[in-house]
Amino acid sequence: YQLADLVCHLSTKPEPFGRTVTEALASGTPVAAFNRGGAAETLQACFRDGLVTPDDTREFARVALRLLNDKTSNIEIPFRFRLQAQTESTLEVYRKVLGKAPPSS
């Protein structure tokens, strides 16, 4: 992702939350994607400039060109998308299944 100028997510179906968009944004690479499904959820939280009306390929091209020409992309990754938050959430599920309380700090 760090070698790319832009990541394009062109899914025609509302996919669930995936890693592609989040990984690209976490690498500092802007993403253009249709405003639906998991990609939209991630972009709404991290990088609204990359949202495109679903299935509007002309708008997609305009947004992609704008993002390629504008090197001042403001990408913000909320804590809930960061590795630490994901790890803590996964460990919490395991603790609940095993019936154990979290360790004290």
Which token pair is 95? 């603790």
Separation CA 102–CA 69 (nearest Å) = 48
> Which DSSP category does 55 fall into?
T
pLDDT digits (tens, 9 = 90+) for 2-30: 899 999 999 888 787 778 899 999 999 99
Answer whether 14's CB lies under 8 Å from 35's CB.
no
Separation CA 25–CA 43 (nearest Å) = 9
Inform me whether the pLDDT recorded for 101 exceeds 80. no
Sign for the CA dihedral angle at 46, 49, 50, 51 comes to positive
Residue 103's pLDDT is what? 67
pLDDT digits (tens, 9 = 90+) for 26-84: 999 999 999 999 999 999 999 999 999 999 999 999 999 999 998 777 899 888 888 89
